[in-house]
Structure 1
Amino acid sequence: MPEQLEPHQKARMTALETTVRDGLRDFRRTGQALSEIRDNEFFRAGYDSFESYLQDRWGFTPPQAGRLMEAADVAKVLDPLGIQPRNEAQARTFKAAAKLVTELEPEDQRVVARLVEGVMPPQAEGDDSPPWDLPAAEVRIMASVVKRLDADATVYHPENGREVAMGTLSGPERYEVIRTHVDQKTQAYREKQEAKANAPQAENVNWGDWILNYAAQNLGPGQRLELVVEPDGSGASRAVARVVDGNTGEVLAAGQGAVTLKKAALNLAAEVRG
């Protein structure tokens, strides 16, 4: 049954609902307000559950509200780093990075903020909005490097190249080591992404249509295309697609064995195409 709220709780609930109503276009304010309503159970004044409150009061499903609250939590972590996601969906791409940041000591979080600042392009005077989109993966790289290179880590001294413990370096030296590691890993990540973007796209082949078309256009008299499932000797089965001479039983072409009929057919397609 609904419960009565204390006067101060009722006042806070009113303020939070005003925030939700006025800030539906601002996922940060909306998500934070919903989290506080849930955590303090302010909804109990009129509803038996948070879920029924969400649906009846705001038309939110629990998953929708969950995404808003999660995005608001992520944005709260990113704000001290100088990162301001433009919307809820973008904020949630930083979830893994934000988790790593929260695992760092405050001093190390400030190092991540400095790394972020170091890659920001110049902004016009008076322009407070971030004109850039720093990939979430690159923030994750920054946080993971800072976390990994703790005081006990063995690194190369930035000036003389000798192996030393990270904890023996001065603040500027430690930052230079971290920045170098971040630059190397970020460059490797970017090269990998570029290679992936430039890689030829695999042809989207409907294997059933390919079998029928190939049979109609390429099989000679007495030939047939078979999809055979047979034991592989280990107690499992494998599928093989092959072209067979129906008169002699000779296998004219065969793809590699596979664990699915689709893959077997595509393997045969690759084989006959050369």
Structure 2
Amino acid sequence: MAPTLSPTTGAAALEPHEAARLKALEQTVRDGLRDFQRTGQALSEIRDNAFYRATHENFEAYLQERWGFTLPQAGRLIEAADVARVLSPIGVQPQNERQARAMKAAARIVTELEPEQQRVVARLVEDAGDTAPWEDAPPAAELRIMAGVVKKLEPETTVHHPDSGDEVPFDSLSGPQRYEVVRTQVDQKTQAYREKQEARANAPQPEKVNWAEWCLDYAAQALGPGQRLELVIEPGEQPRVQARVMDGETGEVLAEGHEAGNLKRAVLNLVAEVKG
């Protein structure tokens, strides 16, 4: 049976139950524009069931005309809502869209875990929050470490016994011992991650070079009498630049570097050519 067409738009009309559901979902979007999870879930259902079809040809047109959203904006909301839905059972509640999307990698790992493994991650989250309380949710990187360690420890994985230090299969340990192994590995990896981040933050920042000034300095120091440095730029979708040394009197090209996509590389290509 062919779908009923709307007499005004020619688009496929909604069944009564679909129209009622669309009305409820749109009310959710309207009421929950500050709640990324409810809004994302509602938009996802509207998209997946094509509830927009009675008034719009596609989801993108519906978003723009009904809500003033672009398709990428709606996609980010839907993605963030999916992440929040996955993480909620393990006790993680992202507070906003940006925070949720930062946890996308961790959520992907969580979906690959067995229910028992997910419960282990939930306990890790709870224990970590007790020892070092977060303002609202665990940092995305640390949550990813927790989920990654749990996923990696298969029953046959060889680990160090938490009491004796002997190498034993992971599944030969008792429940409390397995959790101790997991928590130890999470703590070690988290500490290593934090130290790496701290070292990166404290590392001396590379000196920023003004390449226009560098070119002038190079010209002043390297060019001989009567020589000049020229930069030839070819415009286009992908501009190219070439640096070359010219004889100021005759216009003869004395040396030239390979073309490059930026000033820095063009001059360095010339330097390499001059040095041979």
Instruction: With the length of structure 1 as denominator, give the TM-score of the two structures.
Output: 0.77
The answer to whether the 8 A contact 2:63-2:69 is kept is: yes
The answer to whether the 8 A contact 1:123-1:131 is kept is: no
Q: Secondary structure at the match of 2:159?
A: strand
Structure 1 distance, partners of 2:122, 2:16, is 41
User: 1:189 maps to which residue?
Assistant: 193
Q: Deviations over 1:199-252 (max 9, x none)?
A: 111111122321203544x5697597989xxxxxxxxxxx999xxxxxxxxxxx
Q: Secondary structure at the match of 1:155?
A: strand
Q: Answer yes or no: is 1:134 the counterpart of 2:138.
A: yes
User: 2:249 maps to which residue?
Assistant: none
Q: Answer yes or no: is 1:3 the counterpart of 2:12.
A: yes
State the 1:70 CA deviation: 0.3
Q: Which amino acid aligns with 2:160?
A: Y
Q: Which amino acid aligns with 1:62?
A: L
State the 1:131 CA deviation: 2.3
Structure 2 distance, partners of 1:226, 1:123, is 59
Matches within 5 A, 1:151-166: 151-166=155-170
Structure 1 distance, partners of 2:181, 2:17, is 51
User: 2:257 maps to which residue?
Assistant: none
Q: Answer yes or no: is 1:198 the counterpart of 2:202.
A: yes
Q: Which amino acid aligns with 1:120?
A: G
User: 1:250 maps to which residue?
Assistant: none
* CA distance 1:107–1:3, shift in 2 (3 Å): same
User: 1:104 maps to which residue?
Assistant: 113
User: 1:247 maps to which residue?
Assistant: none
User: 1:18 maps to which residue?
Assistant: 27
* CA distance 1:266–1:120, shift in 2 (3 Å): farther
Q: Secondary structure at the match of 2:75?
A: helix
- Structure 1 segments, 4+ long, off by >3 Å, are 121-124, 213-216, 218-227, 258-261, 263-269
Matches within 5 A, 1:28-47: 28-47=37-56
User: 1:178 maps to which residue?
Assistant: 182
State the 1:4 CA deviation: 2.1
The answer to whether the 8 A contact 1:155-1:165 is kept is: yes
Q: Secondary structure at the match of 2:33?
A: coil
State the 1:82 CA deviation: 1.9
Q: Which amino acid aligns with 2:184?
A: T
* CA distance 1:164–1:55, shift in 2 (3 Å): same
Structure 1 distance, partners of 2:170, 2:226, is 70
- Please, which runs of 5 or more residues in structure 2 have no aligned partner? 1-9, 231-241, 245-259, 272-276
Instruction: With the length of structure 2 as denominator, give the TM-score of the two structures.
Output: 0.76
Q: Secondary structure at the match of 2:168?
A: strand
Q: Which amino acid aligns with 1:22?
A: D
Matches within 5 A, 1:1-274: 1-121=10-130, 131-216=135-220, 218=221, 222=225, 262=264
State the 1:177 CA deviation: 0.5
State the 1:6 CA deviation: 1.9
Q: Deviations over 1:108-166 (max 9, x none)?
A: 01111111111114799xxxxx6244211111111111000011111111111111111
* CA distance 1:100–1:223, shift in 2 (3 Å): farther
Structure 2 distance, partners of 1:268, 1:118, is 59
**How many residues are treated as equivalent by the alignment?**
237
State the 1:260 CA deviation: 7.9
- Please, which runs of 5 or more residues in structure 1 have no aligned partner? 125-129, 228-238, 242-257, 270-274
* CA distance 1:176–1:7, shift in 2 (3 Å): same
